[in-house]
């Protein structure tokens, strides 16, 4: 009973810390963008600053995952959040002083990216240590609600602060949120299973994480699906979405579409908090196909009401997919390798995003914007449902539902401690 109470209190502190941290993080990109553009006429500086954070984030994810499995995750999160408070606070100080220079700002954002590479895998691994297994779906739904709400309100708040007090003040607020999040994380109870004996070197841990990632069939199949979806969808939506929407029905419609998608994100989080699903992963893969609807609607030049409706449904699908995937990872991946498996999932899913972004312009010139949107939507929807051809994806059951004999691979994946170095 005492352990359960400690877990509930710990999750409340964790949820509060995440709400504060995510609010600041959702504000930072807009504040940094306006700060760089206002301080330096050369818009190329902005690309350097943004890339300076993204490169170490991707490059060190595997190290971050191994570190989160090797050391106490609360300690990793505390160190990363305190470090982020210092680096982002230093960026704010540079901007508030009026002495902007590319090198110090880019260097500090590089350090921010390094710290983020350690934060993300640790966050993915700490939830099962704070929540009983039968409460993971509800916990991830609550986290999804917080994450989606900050995505909606954070940029608007950043805009208000930038206009009234300046970009430096907005980034100082971001630094403060990291500090407050660290204070919340310090209250987390030391609960959950003890880590397994670790390898001699960090590289051995990373290699073992790759073996586990390959061993669990539904994880690498789902990751391959997200890899293709991000390749064809993210850049097309970000770059062609506003342009095609403006051509079809004006700039205002793009704002309505983003708002509708945000409503869908929040609605799905609330729905999954109450809804019990036997095959949660299967639902998530089906829902991920819905995220292609806005591109298909743009590609077929539909009317404004249908564009907004497609964006709303896309938000529902996006949120359901995220919650289903996170919960499946938490329920079925052994805790002692969870951060490493999650880091491989993140790395391989996100690596294709810049490739897709760089490909949009030449492909638009070759086939046309509307046709490219339609093709991207079709490919994305196909990639979303393709994993359902695998029985390990279709028949993976949520916690509390016994496995059938036809899911022997999934049952093997649940045997903590059994490790194979070969492919699945």
For 163-178, write each residue's pLDDT tens digit: 888 888 999 999 999 9
Per DSSP, helices labelled H in 71-134 are 73-96, 102-130
Dig out the tokens for 96 from the structure.
């508030």
Contact 372, 296 (CB under 8 A): no
Looking at residue 280, its pLDDT comes to: 93
Give the lowest-confidence range in 207-221, 262-276, 369-383.
262-276
Confidence of residue 226 (pLDDT cuts 50, 70, 90): very high
Query: What DSSP string describes 321-390?
Result: HHHHHHHHHHHHS-GGGHHHHHHHHHHHHHTHHHHHHHHHHHHHHHH-HHHHHHHHHHHHHHHHHGGGGS
Greatest Cα pair distance, the chain, in angstroms, is 66
Rg (alpha carbons) of the chain, rounded to whole number: 21
Q: Which of 245, 232, 228 is nearest to 357 (CA)?
A: 232
For tokens 């490790």, name the residue.
419
**How many other C-beta atoms lie within 10 A of the C-beta of residue 214?**
17
Classified as helix, coil or strand, 56 is: helix
**How many other C-beta atoms lie within 10 A of the C-beta of residue 322?**
23
For tokens 């050369």, name the residue.
42
pTM: 0.84
The rounded distance, in Å, linking the Cα atoms of 162 and 144 is: 27
Q: Which of 105, 122, 120 is nearest to 51 (CA)?
A: 105
Looking at residue 1, its pLDDT comes to: 52
* Structure-model confidence comparison of residues 44 and 2, the more confident one: 44
Confidence of residue 142 (pLDDT cuts 50, 70, 90): very high
Contact 28, 171 (CB under 8 A): yes
Is the pLDDT at 413 greater than 60? The verdict is: no
Classified as helix, coil or strand, 308 is: helix
Mean pLDDT of the chain: 86
Query: What DSSP string describes 24-81?
Result: HHHHHHHHHHHHHHHH-S-THHHHHHHHHHHHHHHHTHHHHHHHHHHS-HHHHHHHHH
What would the pLDDT profile of 294-342 be if each residue is shown by its tens digit? 999 999 999 999 999 999 999 999 999 999 999 999 999 999 999 999 9
- Give the side-chain half-sphere CA count within 13 A for 15: 18
Confidence of residue 196 (pLDDT cuts 50, 70, 90): low
Sign, CA torsion 300/234/168/41: negative
Confidence of residue 417 (pLDDT cuts 50, 70, 90): very low
The rounded distance, in Å, linking the Cα atoms of 376 and 373 is: 5
The rounded distance, in Å, linking the Cα atoms of 410 and 420 is: 14
Residues 6+ away with beta carbon under 8 Å from 238 = 357
Contact 60, 118 (CB under 8 A): yes
Q: What is the DSSP letter of 199?
A: P
Q: Which of 85, 91, 118, 95 is nearest to 106 (CA)?
A: 91
Q: Which of 419, 413, 2, 346 is nearest to 199 (CA)?
A: 419
In the chain the first and final C-alpha atoms are separated, in Å, by 40
Q: Mean per-residue pLDDT for 340-350?
A: 95
Looking at residue 76, its pLDDT comes to: 93
Contact 391, 406 (CB under 8 A): yes
Is the pLDDT at 416 greater than 80? The verdict is: no
Contact 155, 26 (CB under 8 A): yes
The rounded distance, in Å, linking the Cα atoms of 68 and 61 is: 10
Looking at residue 421, its pLDDT comes to: 33
Is the pLDDT at 194 greater than 60? The verdict is: no
Exposed (0-12), middle (13-18) or buried (19+): which is 69, by Cβ within 10 Å? buried
Looking at residue 276, its pLDDT comes to: 84
């Amino acid at each position: 009973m005492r352990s359960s109470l400690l877990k509930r209190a710990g999750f409340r502190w964790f949820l509060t810390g995440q709400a504060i941290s995510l609010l600041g993080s959702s504000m930072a990109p807009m504040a940094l963008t306006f700060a760089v553009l206002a301080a330096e006429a050369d818009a190329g500086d902005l690309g350097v600053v943004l890339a300076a954070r993204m490169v170490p984030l991707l490059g060190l994810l595997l190290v971050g995952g191994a570190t989160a499995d090797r050391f106490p995750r609360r300690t990793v999160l505390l160190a990363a959040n305190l470090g982020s408070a210092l680096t982002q606070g230093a960026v704010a100080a540079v901007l508030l002083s009026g002495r902007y220079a590319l090198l110090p700002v880019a260097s500090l954002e590089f350090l921010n990216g390094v710290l983020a590479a350690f934060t993300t895998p640790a966050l993915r691994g700490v939830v099962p240590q704070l929540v009983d297994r039968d409460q993971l779906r509800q916990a991830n739904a609550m986290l999804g609600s917080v994450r989606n709400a900050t995505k909606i309100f954070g940029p608007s708040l950043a805009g208000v602060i930038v206009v009234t007090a300046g970009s430096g003040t907005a980034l100082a607020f971001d630094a403060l949120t990291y500090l407050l999040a660290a204070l919340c994380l310090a209250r987390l109870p030391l609960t959950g299973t003890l880590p397994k004996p670790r390898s001699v070197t960090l590289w051995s841990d990373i290699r073992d994480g790759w073996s586990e990632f390959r061993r669990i069939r539904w994880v690498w199949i789902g990751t391959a699906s997200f890899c293709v979806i991000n390749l064809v969808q993210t850049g097309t939506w970000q770059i062609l979405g506003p342009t095609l929407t403006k051509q079809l029905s004006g700039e205002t419609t793009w704002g309505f579409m983003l708002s509708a998608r945000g409503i869908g994100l929040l609605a799905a989080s609330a729905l999954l908090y109450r809804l019990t699903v036997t095959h949660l992963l299967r639902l998530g893969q089906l829902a991920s196909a819905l995220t292609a609807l806005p591109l298909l609607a743009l590609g077929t030049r539909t009317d404004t009401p249908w564009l907004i409706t497609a964006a709303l449904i896309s938000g529902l699908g996006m949120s359901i997919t995220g919650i289903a995937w996170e919960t499946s990872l938490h329920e079925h991946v052994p805790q002692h390798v969870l951060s490493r498996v999650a880091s491989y999932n993140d790395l391989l899913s996100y690596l294709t995003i810049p490739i897709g972004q760089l490909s949009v312009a030449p492909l638009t010139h070759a086939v046309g914007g509307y046709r490219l949107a339609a093709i991207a939507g079709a490919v994305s929807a196909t990639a979303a449902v393709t994993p359902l051809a695998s029985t390990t994806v279709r028949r993976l059951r949520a916690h509390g539902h016994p496995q059938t004999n036809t899911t022997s691979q999934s049952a093997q994946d649940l045997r903590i401690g059994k490790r194979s170095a070969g492919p699945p």
